[in-house]
Amino acid sequence: MVAEARVKPNRIALIGAGIYARDAHAPALLRLRDRFQVAAVCARSLASADALAARFGSDVDRCTDIPALLARDDIDAVDIVLPVPVQAEVVAQALAANVVSSSGSGVTMKRLRTGAVHSGSAGRASRYATSAATSAAQPPGQL
């Protein structure tokens, strides 16, 4: 019998710590701990980031600076869980940093590639993770 190699979980940063991040994404990511490790939570306030990060353990970084978070080389992907009006700008920033995840709010790869969301590097998203992975962990009928 050949032993299976253990794959290291993808290191994820959550951008946004509101209701949907707390009630939908966090529970899904917790159920998928074998595949995803939340490494950081970025929010408008450190208090919000602290509250959500606490659900994942004490070793999760907390921040309010999105560009600094996107510049980190220890983050494999980001889960952008922001209100629709501000999400496109952050997705464009993540694409420029070659780190992106979109949470199905209309910011799609097609829109990004066609320029509907401006980004100079829309075709170069080398580390793209979709929230479909977290959605797959949701029981049917729940968001």
**Two structure tokens written together for 139:** 């029981």
Quick one: pLDDT band at residue 139, thresholds 50, 70, 90?
A: very low
pTM of the model: 0.71
Whose CA is closest to 129, among 18, 57, 29? 29
pLDDT in tens, 27-74: 999 999 999 999 999 999 999 999 999 999 999 999 999 999 999 989
At 62, give phi and psi (nearest 5°).
Answer: -125, 140
At 111, give phi and psi (nearest 5°).
Answer: -60, -40
Confidence (pLDDT) at 129? 39
Burial of 69 (0-12, 13-18, 19+ CB in 10 A): buried
